[in-house]
């Protein structure tokens, strides 16, 4: 350190001169967080982390997995029972998908409650909503791939719901299934959607989401004077990065523990006879599943309302939210309608999920 | 007008130097301080923007006198970063602090180019022309397996001897050979529910009419006679396609119950409770002299009031 640059220092200087890494790094890390770093802001980073882990474990699974109706089940069993640590990689991927859904919900709730979807962040919110759709599509398509009874029946019911869409439903459900009933073509299609189309779409949309977020800047807390905010403002690095890393660690360890305690176990190989299996979708679709048991959603029209119109209207409402709610007020305690809506939706989802689980006992 | 770099700084009594730097508030994105130096690298002082009285083209006028400059704190470079090293949204939109404009000449060939809009549109048009011929082949490519002809094969599912009592649902499991696209022929498990129906139940199923099964051309493939005592129902729940079971229900007695969305049907397939839009689907059935049962494994679309055949 006496003014003589080391070899490593020279290499870094050489690269930096050509790439501009230091400026880039400075720009990435020196983002002012108005009002200071908070634990509430960790969800976006954690989602990115979980997605990367899903991509890594997903690629590892593809080393053995074969997406064909006569080998999908056997190759998944091979991963689970023969390949060293295969059970762990697959279980991590499985629980990672659940983690993704939970954290997406937390992320959306945080943005909603903080009023961070309001001007000038409308497009950030819209891109986020698109990403939410992609995460659910990941869950739905990935679920079929092990080709066991659980997979087959969740898909069978799921694609029947696509069929309920007026006018284009028949075409769409055949297009997704690759035929009149689920089979090899369905598996091929879900596979390519799950491992190629959705990851590419997610990377593109997440990039746009992040770009627009950095362009608009973080929203910061919903109360406090400008002076107070300024006094507490810090950069993304190090305090927020530290909180993000801790949160990623917690999520990582949680997924690992779940993978250890409750590793993936397949049911019988997929076949159109359910046997003793009681078909059920993955837990994060359970509330919708339970919803369709209600009497008001009976019959052809009722089913259309429950399975298609209601979810579509809800997503459209979320999309329109920043354009309908134009008041600049961000304090959740001064937005009673928003607070009550969030509570009602959250409690509704919890209630329906729990009742679906309770209902299981009566079916035994 | 915003203070400019290199502008002269004049106090109420005399000139004290020039603007060497400008400090911006990251939240309001407005100029919060100007840094005043003598240009010779001597001590720089950080003057709040509130002290600025007026800004002219080449000078910044302060409210205080030159001797009062000492009250302002010395500028500490380490407390700041340049705007290249930090991301502040829309900062450039707010700031106009360059000491004049920095320009690059437009290349000779680009000057006075006419029909720019035409060329832009032309580029898009060519793009569309390149993509257009691909739409149809790609769509057809992806649609290849979507529509298959109906399968009118008779499949043996078992023997009527298995049925002991009238109007009780009995499950028949059977193997069906399927040949899908390039795949080797495979055997899949399927099931149907059969009953030996009493005349009352038959009446509800057939409503006094024979039941015809047609292929897409409208040609009748098979007719179930209304007085034929054996009825077989497709194993697929007409609600959303799950598999239902013959179960005893606390209030309704022996019924067909689907565990998915809790649709309940009686022995004649009629919906008693739950979300199902139509009764269970009877299938074409024939029984040989020795009691062997054969069916055509017709499949209808779930979720609709009328029967729409898909297999």
- Collect all residues of chain A within an 8 Å Cβ-Cβ radius of residue B143: 175
Question: Has residue A280 been placed in a domain?
Answer: yes
Instruction: Determine the residue among B89, B157, B251 to mutate to test chain A binding: the one whose Cβ has the most chain A Cβ atoms within 10 Å.
Output: B89
- Collect all residues of chain A within an 8 Å Cβ-Cβ radius of residue B147: 174, 180
Question: Has residue A314 been placed in a domain?
Answer: no
Instruction: Determine the residue among A197, A235, A269, A274 to mutate to test chain B binding: the one whose Cβ has the most chain B Cβ atoms within 10 Å.
Output: A274
Give burial (CB, 10 Å; 0-12/13-18/19+) of A342: middle
Question: Has residue A46 been placed in a domain?
Answer: yes
Q: Element (H or E) spanning A13, and its range? A: helix A7-19
Selecting from A26, A226, A300 the residue whose C-beta is nearest the C-beta of B305 gives A300
- Tell the residue number behind the tokens 């409770």, with chain if given: B273
Degrees, nearest 5: CA angle A271-A275-A277: 95
Residue pair B103/B52 in contact (Cβ under 8 Å)? The answer is no
Domain ranges of chain B: 8-94, 154-296
Selecting from B241, B275, B301 the residue whose C-beta is nearest the C-beta of A292 gives B275
pLDDT of residue B81: 86
Residue pair A73/A270 in contact (Cβ under 8 Å)? The answer is yes
Q: What mean pLDDT value characterizes chain B?
A: 90
Question: Has residue A2 been placed in a domain?
Answer: no
pLDDT of residue B291: 94
Give burial (CB, 10 Å; 0-12/13-18/19+) of A1: exposed
**Residue A68 and residue B183: Cβ atoms within 8 Å?**
yes
- Tell the residue number behind the tokens 């993978």, with chain if given: A259
Give burial (CB, 10 Å; 0-12/13-18/19+) of B183: middle
Residues 6+ apart with CB under 8 A from A76: A65, A90, A145, A146, A147, A148, A266
- Collect all residues of chain B within an 8 Å Cβ-Cβ radius of residue A171: 146
Q: Which of A34, A88, A9, A104 is nearest to A56 (CA)?
A: A88
Structure tokens of A26?
A: 């400075």
Can B8-94 and B154-296 be said to share one CATH topology? no
Provide the terminal-to-terminal Cα distance of chain A, rounded to the nearest Å: 74
Q: What percent of chain A has pLDDT over 90?
A: 84
ipTM, two decimals, is 0.86
pLDDT of residue B112: 82
pLDDT of residue A116: 96
Residue A85 clears pLDDT 70, i.e. is over it:
yes
pLDDT of residue A27: 85
CATH number of the domain encompassing residue A245: 1.20.810.10
Q: Which tens digit of pLDDT belongs to each residue from A115-160?
A: 999 999 999 999 999 999 999 999 999 999 999 999 999 999 999 9
Q: Which tens digit of pLDDT belongs to each residue from B99-152?
A: 566 778 888 888 888 888 999 999 999 999 999 999 999 999 999 999 988 999
Q: What mean pLDDT value characterizes chain A?
A: 94
**Residue B86 and residue A185: Cβ atoms within 8 Å?**
no
Q: For A278, which residue in chain B has the nearest alpha carbon?
A: B259
- Tell the residue number behind the tokens 């024979």, with chain if given: B210
Which positions 171-210 of B are in contact with A (Cβ < 8 Å)? 173, 178, 180-181, 183-184, 186, 188-191
Q: What is the mean pLDDT of residues A68-85?
A: 97
Residue B57 clears pLDDT 90, i.e. is over it:
no
Question: Has residue A23 been placed in a domain?
Answer: no
Q: What is the mean pLDDT of residues B71-83?
A: 89
- Collect all residues of chain A within an 8 Å Cβ-Cβ radius of residue B84: 23, 26-27
**Residue B260 and residue A271: Cβ atoms within 8 Å?**
no
Rounded to the nearest angstrom, the minimum Cα separation between B193 and chain A is 12
Q: What percent of chain B has pLDDT over 90?
A: 65
Phi then psi dihedrals of residue A53, to 5 deg: -65, -40
Q: Which of B153, B184, B186, B187 is nearest to B173 (CA)?
A: B187
CA–CA gap between residue B98 and residue B5 (Å, rounded): 6
Q: Which tens digit of pLDDT belongs to each residue from A8-51?
A: 999 999 999 999 888 888 888 988 898 999 999 999 999 999 99
Q: What is the mean pLDDT of residues A207-215?
A: 95
For A53, half-sphere exposure in the C-beta direction (CA atoms, 13 angstrom radius) is 26
Pairs across A and B, CB distance < 8 A = 156
- Residue range(s) defining the domain that contains residue A260: 38-222+229-284
pLDDT of residue A125: 98
DSSP state of A68: S
CA–CA gap between residue B245 and residue B48 (Å, rounded): 81
CA–CA gap between residue A295 and residue A61 (Å, rounded): 42
Q: Which of B100, B91, B69 is nearest to B23 (CA)?
A: B91
Q: Which tens digit of pLDDT belongs to each residue from B215-272?
A: 888 899 999 999 999 999 999 999 999 999 999 988 899 999 999 999 999 999 999 9
pTM: 0.90
Domain count, chain A: 1
Please spell the DSSP secondary structure of chain B, one letter per residue.
Answer: ----TT-EEE-SSSEEEEEEEEEE-TTT-SEEEEEEE-SSS---EEEEGGGEEEE-SSEEEESS-GGGGGGSPBP-GGG---TTSS--TTHHHH----SS----PPPGGGTT---HHHHHHHHHHHHHHHHHHHHHHHHHHHHTTS-------EEEEEEGGG--SBT--EEEEEEEEE--TTSPPEEEEEEEEEEE--HHHHHHHHTTS-EEEE-TTS-EEEEE-TT-SEEEEESB-TTTS-B-EEEEETTTEEEEE-TTT--EE-TT--EEESS-SS---B--EEE-TT-EEEEE---B-TTSSS--B--
Structure tokens of B174?
A: 């059977």
CA–CA gap between residue B187 and residue B173 (Å, rounded): 13
Residues 6+ apart with CB under 8 A from A165: A172, A308
pLDDT of residue B39: 67
- Whether the CB of B259 is below 8 Å from some CB of chain A: the reply is yes
Q: For B147, which residue in chain A has the nearest alpha carbon?
A: A179
Selecting from A28, A229, A273 the residue whose C-beta is nearest the C-beta of B27 gives A229
Question: Could you tell me which CATH number the domain at B8-94 has?
Answer: 2.30.30.240
Question: Has residue A350 been placed in a domain?
Answer: no
Hey, is A148 helix, strand or coil? Answer: strand
* pLDDT classification of A360: cutoffs 50, 70, 90: confident
Residue A77 clears pLDDT 60, i.e. is over it:
yes
CA–CA gap between residue A181 and residue A190 (Å, rounded): 14
Domain B154-296 has CATH 2.102.10.10: yes
Distances in Å between the Cα of A319 and the Cα atoms of A125, A165, A290, B222, B271 are: 8, 20, 25, 51, 38
HEC per residue, B214-259: ECCCCCEEEEECCCCCEEEEECECCCCCCECEEEEECCCEEEEECC
- Whether the CB of A300 is below 8 Å from some CB of chain B: the reply is yes
Residue B97 clears pLDDT 80, i.e. is over it:
no
């Amino acid at each position: 350190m006496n003014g003589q640059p080391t070899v490593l220092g020279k290499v870094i200087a050489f690269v930096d001169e050509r790439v501009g890494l230091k400026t880039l790094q400075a720009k990435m890390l020196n983002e002012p967080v108005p009002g200071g770093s908070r634990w509430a802001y960790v969800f976006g980073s954690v989602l990115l982390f979980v997605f990367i882990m899903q991509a890594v474990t997903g690629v590892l699974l593809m080393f053995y997995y074969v997406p064909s109706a006569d080998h999908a089940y056997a190759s998944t069993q091979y991963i689970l029972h023969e390949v060293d640590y295969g059970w762990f990689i697959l279980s991590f991927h499985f629980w990672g998908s659940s983690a993704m859904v939970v954290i997406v919900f937390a992320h959306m709730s945080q943005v909603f409650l903080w009023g961070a979807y309001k001007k000038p962040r409308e497009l950030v919110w819209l891109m986020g909503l698109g990403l939410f759709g992609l995460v659910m599509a990941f869950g739905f398509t990935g679920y079929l791939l092990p080709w066991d009874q659980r997979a087959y029946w969740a898909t069978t019911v799921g694609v029947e719901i696509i069929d309920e869409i007026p006018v284009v439903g028949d075409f769409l459900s055949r297009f997704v299934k690759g035929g009149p009933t689920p089979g090899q073509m369905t598996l091929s299609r879900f596979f390519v959607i799950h491992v190629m189309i959705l990851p590419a779409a997610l990377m593109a949309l997440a990039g746009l989401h992040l770009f627009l977020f950095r362009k608009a800047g973080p929203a910061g807390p919903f109360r406090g004077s400008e002076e107070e905010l300024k006094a507490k403002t810090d950069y993304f690095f190090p305090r927020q990065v530290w909180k993000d890393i801790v949160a990623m660690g917690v999520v990582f360890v949680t997924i690992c523990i779940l993978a250890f305690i409750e590793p993936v176990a397949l049911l019988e190989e997929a076949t159109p006879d359910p046997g003793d299996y009681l078909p059920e979708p993955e837990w994060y679709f359970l509330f919708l599943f339970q919803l369709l048991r209600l009497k008001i959603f009976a019959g052809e029209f009722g089913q259309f309302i429950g399975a298609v119109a209601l979810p579509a209207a809800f997503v459209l409402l979320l999309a329109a939210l920043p354009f309908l709610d134009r008041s600049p007020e961000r304090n959740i305690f001064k937005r009673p309608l928003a607070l009550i809506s969030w509570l009602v939706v959250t409690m509704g989802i919890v209630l329906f999920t729990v009742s679906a689980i309770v209902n299981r006992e009566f079916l035994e | 007008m915003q203070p400019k770099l290199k502008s002269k700084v004049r106090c109420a009594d005399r000139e004290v130097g020039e603007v060497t730097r400008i400090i911006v508030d990251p939240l309001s994105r407005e100029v919060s301080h100007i840094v005043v130096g003598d240009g010779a690298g001597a001590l720089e002082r950080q003057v709040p923007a509130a002290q600025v009285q007026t800004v002219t083209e080449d000078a910044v006028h302060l409210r205080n006198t030159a001797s009062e400059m000492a009250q302002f704190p010395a500028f500490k470079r380490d407390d700041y970063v340049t705007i290249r090293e930090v991301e502040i949204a829309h900062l450039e939109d707010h700031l106009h602090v360059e000491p004049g404009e920095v320009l690059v000449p437009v290349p000779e060939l680009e000057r006075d180019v006419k029909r720019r809009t035409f060329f832009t549109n032309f580029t898009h048009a060519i793009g569309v022309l390149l993509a257009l011929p691909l739409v149809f082949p790609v769509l057809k490519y992806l649609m290849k397996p979507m529509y298959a002809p109906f399968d009118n094969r008779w499949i043996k599912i078992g023997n009527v001897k298995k049925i002991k009592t009238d109007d009780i649902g009995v499950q028949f499991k059977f193997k069906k050979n399927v040949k899908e696209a390039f795949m080797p022929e495979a055997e899949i498990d399927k099931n149907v529910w059969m009953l030996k129906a009493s005349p009352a139940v038959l009446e509800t199923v057939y409503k006094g009419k024979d039941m015809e099964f047609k292929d897409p051309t409208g040609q009748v493939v098979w007719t179930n006679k209304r007085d034929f005592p054996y009825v077989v129902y497709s194993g697929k729940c007409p609600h959303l396609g799950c598999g239902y079971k013959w179960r005893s229900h606390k209030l309704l007695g022996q019924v067909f119950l689907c565990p998915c969305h809790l649709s309940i049907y009686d022995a004649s397939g009629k919906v008693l409770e739950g979300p199902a839009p139509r009764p269970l689907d009877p299938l074409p059935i024939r029984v040989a002299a020795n009691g062997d049962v054969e069916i055509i494994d017709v499949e209808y679309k779930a979720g609709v009031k009328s029967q729409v055949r898909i297999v």
